[in-house]
Amino acid sequence: MSRLGALALLATLGAGCEPSAGPPPPAPSRLHVVASVYPVYEFARHVAGEAAEVALLIPPGVEPHDWEASPKDVGRVADARVFVHNGAGFEPWVDRLLAGLGDRRPAVVAAAAGLELLDALPAADPHGHGHPPPRRERAAGPAPAKDPHVWLDPVLAAAQVEAIRAGLAAADPPNAARYAAGAEAFAARLRALHERFEQGLASCQRREIVVSHAAFTYPARRYRLTQIPITGAAPDAEPSPAELARIVRVARRHRVSVVFFEPLVASRLADALARELGARTLPLNPIEGLTREEAARGTGYVALMEKNLAHLRDGLGCR
Amino acid sequence: MLPEFLEYGFMQRAFAVGLMTALICPAIGVFLVPRRLSLIADTLAHVALAGVAVGLILGLSPVLGALLVTAAGAVGIERLRARGTLQGDASLAVFLSGGFAVAVVLISLSGGFNADLFAVLFGSIVTVSPLDVWVVLALGALVGSTVALFYRQLLAITLSEELARTSGVPVAALNLVLTVLTALTTVVTMRMVGVLLVSAMIVIPTLTGFAVARSFRLATAIAIAAAVTSVVVGLIAAYYLRLAAGGSVVLTALAIFGAATLARSLRGRRPAPPLPP
C-alpha cells in the first residue's frame, strides 16, 4: 500500500472516532491554551487546573519588550483553541500575529481588557513642577501611553483571572465549573496577598520608589506609593544626562536610600543612579517573565510578589 | 562654584573619559589618516563589538573582552597587511565584516540584544563607573606615552615606510605597536561615542589639523584642540539640549572641520597636500 493510501486510511479512521456514536473516548483531548507572557500564563494555569493544558509563548529569561514571534511561534498560536494575552499594549506584536492567522484564529482573551488603564508615568517630577513630559520613543515605535503592567496590583490581577475564567469557560463549557473553582481558589490567594501588601506598606518612612522603568503605576496607586521611574514605559531607553540629573534631584529631595532595579534588565542605570545618590540597589520584579533559574525552581507569581513586598518594606523603611 | 552640569558625579566621569578620548584619538589619527588607514578604527570597533559579546557570554567585563579580542584582531590585520596577502583596505574589510558577523552570532546565542549592547553601539556616558574612568585613564596614559616615546620613528614611517626602513627604523615592530595602540584607543573611545562613531573621533579632528596646519606637529596640536573642543561643546550641548552625547560630540567635530575647510578656501590657499612637509 502506498504511503499516501495509509495516510488516507488513518485519516478516515480518525474521522470515524469523532462522532459521539461510539463509546466516549477514555481521555478527552484537553483544551489547548497558549498564553503570551508569564503573568497571564500563570493565571491561566491556575484557572485551568487539570482541565486544560496551558503553554507559554515567550521562553523564560527573555525580556518580553524585546521578543519577536518566529514562524514556529505563529504555528503554536494557530494550533491553540484559546490564546490568552495581557493586552493594553504590552504585546505590540499580537495584532500582527493574529491578523496573519486568518481563519485559524483561536478564541482570544485579552486579560487586561475592560480594566481602567492609567497613564504610564513619563519620567517626570511627581510633583509636576511644570516640566513638560519628555518625549520617549523606542526603536520599535512609540511606547504605549498606558501602563500595561496591571498584574502588579493583586486586585487587578484578580480581575484578569476572572477574564481568563470567562474565556476558558466560553471555549469549553463542559468544564466551566472546574474553571470557576480554579479561579476562585487563586482569587482567594490574591486577596490574601493584597491584605499583606496593605498591612506591610501601611506605615513606612518614605513612600517614593525609584524604579528602572515605569512598570509600577498600579501597585503605586493601590498602596499610595509614588513611582519615580528612571526611564519611561520601556526598559531599554536610556535617559539623557539632563534627565538623569533631574531624577537625582528629585530622589535627593525625598532622601531616597534605595534604587530598585529589574532582574531581567541589566542594572547599569540603577547602579549609576545609586552611585550618584550613595544609595543601595534592591530588586523589584515587574514579573514580566521568569529567569531560567526561577522557571526551573518553580517560583510563581505570589512568591515573587511577596519578595517584592519584602524589598519594598526594606527599601522604604516600613514597620 | 561648579556649573550645573558638573555637579553630578556621572557628568564629571563623562568629562574625564571624554577628555582622555580627545587627547589620544588625534594623537593616533595623525599616523593613520595619511597612510589611508582611516577606517582601521571602524574595523577595530566592529571587532571590539565581538569582544564585548564574548565578555557578556563569559560573564567577563565587556571592556576586558573588547580589549583582548580587539588587540588580537589588530595584530591579525597588521599581519595580513604587512605580508601583502591582502591590500590594506581589503584586510580592513575582511576584519570589519568578520568581526561584526561574529558579534551578531554571539549576541543571538546569548539571547538577544539588551540595554548593554545598545550602550556599546551608541555609547553611554551616564553610566560610566569610577572603575571605567581608571581603566580609560590608564589606557590613555599608555597610548600617550608610547606615542611620545616613538614620535620620530612613527612620523618617519608615516611619511614613507621605505625611507624609514632604509634609515634603520624597526618598521614592522612599530607598525604592530601602532595597530595595538589603535585597538586600545578604539576601546577607550567606544565607551563614550559607541562602536558606530569611534572612527569619527580618530579621523575628523585629524583632518581638521591637516586642513589648516603647515607642519605635522602643528597639525597634531590643532587636531587635539579640535577634539577637546568637540568633547566639551558636545557634552554640554547634550546635557542642556537633551541630545545623545556621542552624536553631539561627533557633529561638533564635523562642524569644526567644516569651518576649518571653509576658512582655508576663503584664504585662497591651495588644498594642503595629504602630507604637509
How do beta strands A107-110 and A137-138 pair? unpaired
- What is the C-alpha to C-alpha distance for residues B207 and B185, in angstroms, rounded to an integer? 17
**Are B114 and A266 a contacting pair at CB < 8 A?**
yes
A245 Cβ under 8 Å from any chain B Cβ: yes
**Are B242 and A63 a contacting pair at CB < 8 A?**
no
- Which of A61, A271, A275 is nearest residue B9 as measured by Cβ atoms? A275
Chains A, B: CB pairs < 8 Å: 80
In angstroms, how far is CA B140 from the centroid of its own chain? Answer: 11
All domains in chain B, ordered by first residue = 4-266 (1.10.3470.10)
A contacts of B10 (beta carbons < 8 Å):
241, 244, 272, 275-276
Cβ within 8 Å of residue A285, ≥6 positions away? A262, A263, A304, A307, A308
Query: Which pLDDT band holds residue B93 (cuts at 50, 70, 90)?
Result: confident
A198 pLDDT more than 80: yes
What is the ipTM score, two decimals? 0.72
The confidence score (pLDDT) of residue B204 equals: 96
Interface of A with B in 21-40 (CB under 8 A): none
Handedness of CA B84, B85, B89, B95 (dihedral sign): negative
The confidence score (pLDDT) of residue B59 equals: 75
> For A257-288, how does the pLDDT look when each residue is reduced to its tens digit (9 = 90+)?
999 998 766 677 888 899 999 999 999 999 98
- Which of B9, B118, B242 is nearest residue A242 as measured by Cβ atoms? B242
Q: Which of A79, A75, A73 is nearest to A36 (CA)?
A: A73
- A242: closest CA of chain B, how far (Å): 5
Mean per-residue pLDDT for A214-231?
92
A213 near A74, Cβ under 8 Å?
A: no
User: From B248, which residue of chain A is nearest by alpha-carbon distance?
Assistant: A240
Instruction: Report chain B's mean pLDDT, rounded to a whole number.
Output: 86
- Considering only A258-267, B43-52, B234-243, which range has the smallest mean pLDDT? A258-267
Query: Which pLDDT band holds residue A104 (cuts at 50, 70, 90)?
Result: confident
The phi, psi pair for B240, rounded to 5°, reads -80, -30
Q: Where are the domains of chain A?
A: 203-316
**Helix or strand (DSSP H, E) at A82:** strand A82-85
B259 pLDDT more than 90: yes
- For residues B90 and A195, which has the higher predicted lDDT (pLDDT)? A195
> For A69-95, how does the pLDDT look when each residue is reduced to its tens digit (9 = 90+)?
888 889 999 999 999 999 988 888 888
Mean per-residue pLDDT for A236-264?
85
The confidence score (pLDDT) of residue A235 equals: 54
The confidence score (pLDDT) of residue B57 equals: 81
pLDDT winner (highest mean) among A3-12, A147-156, A206-215, B128-137: A147-156
**Are A266 and B239 a contacting pair at CB < 8 A?**
no
Task: Tell me the residues of B at the A interface, defined by beta carbons under 8 Å apart.
Answer: 4-5, 7-11, 14, 111-116, 118-119, 124-130, 235, 238-240, 242-245
Mean per-residue pLDDT for B56-76?
85
The phi, psi pair for A283, rounded to 5°, reads -75, 140
Sheet holding A31-35, edge to edge: A52-56, A31-35, A82-85, A107-110
The confidence score (pLDDT) of residue B148 equals: 93
The confidence score (pLDDT) of residue A310 equals: 96
CA distances (Å), B97 to each of A222, B48, B268, in order? Answer: 52, 12, 41
pTM over 0.90: no
A contacts of B126 (beta carbons < 8 Å):
238-241, 244, 269, 272
Mean per-residue pLDDT for A116-122?
78
- What is the C-alpha to C-alpha distance for residues B132 and A125, in angstroms, rounded to an integer? 30
Mean per-residue pLDDT for B24-43?
90
A6 pLDDT more than 50: no
**Are A268 and B8 a contacting pair at CB < 8 A?**
no
**Are A241 and B112 a contacting pair at CB < 8 A?**
no
Query: Which pLDDT band holds residue B37 (cuts at 50, 70, 90)?
Result: confident
A32 near A51, Cβ under 8 Å?
A: no
A304 near A42, Cβ under 8 Å?
A: no
Adjacent-strand bridge partners of A42: none
- A291: closest CA of chain B, how far (Å): 12
**Helix or strand (DSSP H, E) at B100:** helix B88-109
Query: Which pLDDT band holds residue B187 (cuts at 50, 70, 90)?
Result: confident
Mean per-residue pLDDT for A171-178?
95
Cβ within 8 Å of residue B145, ≥6 positions away? none
**CATH code linked to domain A203-316:** 3.40.50.1980
> For A27-63, how does the pLDDT look when each residue is reduced to its tens digit (9 = 90+)?
457 899 999 999 999 999 999 999 999 999 988 777 7
- What is the C-alpha to C-alpha distance for residues B119 and B125, in angstroms, rounded to an integer? 9
The confidence score (pLDDT) of residue B1 equals: 63
